[in-house]
C-alpha cells in the first residue's frame, strides 16, 4: 500500500508507464500527465458524462476512477477513437447535423454513441435518447445529436447488410 503507485497501461494503443499519486483521478491523469485534454472534467461526481471514455472496451466515467487502479488496463480516449478512424462516420454525421455547439460535451457524447453503434442494428429515437440519457448537453437540446446518431446507425446497418 502506498500513496504513490506505479502503473503500466496502454492508452490509445501506446504503452504508458508512470508513477501516480493514488488520489489522482483518471481524467486528471490523462489531462495533466499525458496531455490528452479531449476527455473533460465537467462535474467530478459522475453525472455529466463529459469524462466518458473506454476502459477495456466498455464506456466508463473517468472522473470516478483513480489512475492508480489502471495497471494493466487498456484505455481509449476520444483522440484514439478519432485517429483510428473508428468513429469517422459518426463524427461526419455530427458535423453535418451540427450535433455540437460549444463542443465541451462532445467527446463524451461521441464515445457513448460509439458504444451504441457497436451494438449494431438501428435503434429507435427513444432508444438512442435512453442510451444518451447520462450525457449532459446544454447547447444543442439533443435533437441534432439524436438525428446524427440515428443517421450513423442507419448507414452502418445498411453497409452491413445492403
Partner 1 sequence: MPADPARPPIDARAPASHSVRGRRAGRSTPRWEDFLKAPRFAYLRVSSLAQVFDAFAEHGEEARILAGGQSLVPALNMRLAEPRLLIDINPIAALAGIERRESVLRIGALARHSEVGASPLVAELAPLIHQAVPHIAHPAIRNRGSFGGSLAQADPAAELPACVVALDAVLHLASRRGERRVAARDFFRGPYETALAPDEVIAAVDIPVAPKGARSVFLELARRRGDYALAGLAAEAREDGLRLVFFGVGGRPVEAGAAASALAARDIAAAQAALARDLDPPGDLQADGATKLHLARVLLGRAARALAAA
Partner 2 sequence: MSEQPLSFFDRPNSYIGKSVPRPNAQRLLQGRGVFVDDLRLPRLLHAAFLRSPYAHARIKRIDTAAAARRAGVVRVVTAADLAGLYTPWVGVLTHLKGMKSAPQHPLAPDRARWQGEPVAAVAAETRAAAEDALAEIAVEWEELPPLASVEAALAPGAPAIHEALGDNLAFTRTIDAGAVDDAFDRADAVVAETFTFARHTGVCPEPRSILAEFNPADRRLTLYCSSQAPHMMKEIVLRHFPLAEADLRVVCHDVGGSYGIKIHVYPDEMTVIALALMLGRPVKFVADRLESFVSDIHAREHRVAARVAVSKSGEILAIDIDDLTGIGPFSTYPRTSAVEGNQVVNLAGSWYRSPNYRARLRVVFQNKPPMSQYRAVGHPVACAVTEGLVDLAARAIAMDPAELRWRNLIADDAYPWKSPAGLLFEKLSHQRALERMLGMMDYTGLRREQKALRAQGVHRGIGLACFVEITNPGPAFYGVGGAPISAQDGCSLRLEPGGTVTCAISVTEQGQGTETVVAQIVASVLGVALARVRVVTGDTERTPYGGGTWASRGTGIGGEAALQAAKALRANVLTLAGAMLQAAPGGLDIVEGWIVDAGTGARRIGLEEVGRAGYFRGDTLPPGLQPELVATRHHQPRDYPFAFTNGVQASWLELDVETGFVRLLKHWVVEDCGRMVNPLLVDEQIRGGVVQGLGAALFEECLYDAAGQLRNGTLADYLVPMAAEMPDIEVAHLETPLAGTELGAKGVGEAGTAGAPAAVMNAINDALAPFGARVAEQPFTPARILRALGRV
Q: Which residues bind to partner 2, rule: CB under 8 A?
A: 21, 23-24, 31, 35-45, 47-48, 50, 77-79, 82, 91, 94-98, 100-107, 110, 125, 128-130, 132-146
Burial 78-113 (b: 16+ CB within 10 A, else e): bbbbbeeeebebbbebbeebebbeeebbbbbbbbbb
Residue 162 contacts which entry, partner 2, partner 1, none (Cβ below 5-8 A, type-dependent): none
What 3-state class would DSSP assign to 155? helix
The nearest distance, CB 69 to partner 2, in angstroms, is 17
Which residue, 72 or 133, has its beta carbon nearer to partner 2? Answer: 133
Which residue, 13 or 103, has its beta carbon nearer to partner 2? Answer: 103
Which residue, 3 or 162, has its beta carbon nearer to partner 1? Answer: 3
* Order of all β-strands in the sheet with 58-61: 14-21, 4-11, 74-76, 52-55, 58-61
Amino acid at each position: 500500500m502506498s500513496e504513490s503507485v506505479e502503473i503500466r497501461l496502454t492508452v490509445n494503443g501506446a504503452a504508458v508507464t508512470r508513477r501516480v499519486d493514488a488520489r489522482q483521478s483518471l481524467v486528471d491523469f490523462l489531462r495533466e500527465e499525458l496531455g490528452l485534454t479531449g476527455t473533460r472534467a465537467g462535474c467530478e461526481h459522475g453525472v455529466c458524462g463529459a469524462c466518458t471514455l473506454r476502459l477495456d472496451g466498455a464506456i466508463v466515467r473517468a472522473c470516478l476512477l483513480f489512475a492508480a487502479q489502471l495497471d494493466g488496463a487498456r484505455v481509449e480516449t476520444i483522440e484514439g477513437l478519432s485517429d483510428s478512424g473508428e468513429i469517422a462516420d459518426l463524427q461526419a454525421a455530427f458535423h453535418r447535423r451540427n450535433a455540437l455547439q460549444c463542443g465541451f460535451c462532445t467527446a463524451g457524447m461521441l464515445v457513448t454513441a460509439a458504444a451504441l453503434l457497436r451494438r449494431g442494428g438501428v435503434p429507435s429515437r427513444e432508444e438512442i435518447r435512453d442510451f444518451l440519457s447520462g450525457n449532459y448537453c446544454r447547447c444543442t437540446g439533443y435533437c441534432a445529436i439524436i438525428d446524427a446518431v440515428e443517421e450513423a446507425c442507419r448507414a452502418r446497418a445498411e453497409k452491413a447488410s445492403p
